[in-house]
Amino acid sequence: MAKLPTDISGRELRAALERVGFVFRRQKGSHMVLRRDDPYARAVIPDHKQIRAGTLRSILVEAGLSTEQLLKLLGRS
């Protein structure tokens, strides 16, 4: 099992999710809301310089992605 990255920013995560079909919908304060229609999923991403591990794990569950898939999207595999 791959280790969860600890140095990822909210904008990097947003770009990675957009590569798998998520679309930026809106932003309120420091939270960006992305949505995918097929299969339906919604992810709320904090626009921070570094996302905490627990928050990132929760976002991956919402998005239906594994750590390995995220690393491939980030080009770190």
Sorted by where each starts, the structural domains of the chain and their CATH numbers stand as: 10-74 (3.30.920.30)
d(CA 26, CA 22): 12
User: Taking all residues of the chain, what is their mean pLDDT, rounded to a whole number?
Assistant: 94
Burial class (CB in 10 A: 0-12, 13-18, 19+), 28: exposed
Distance of CA 26 to the CA centre of its chain: 15
Query: pTM for the full model?
Result: 0.92
CB 17 within 8 A of CB 60: no
Do 47 and 32 contact (CB within 8 A), yes or no? yes
Out of 28-32, 54-58, 67-71, 73-77, least confident range: 73-77
pLDDT band at 1 (very low <50, low <70, confident <90, very high): confident
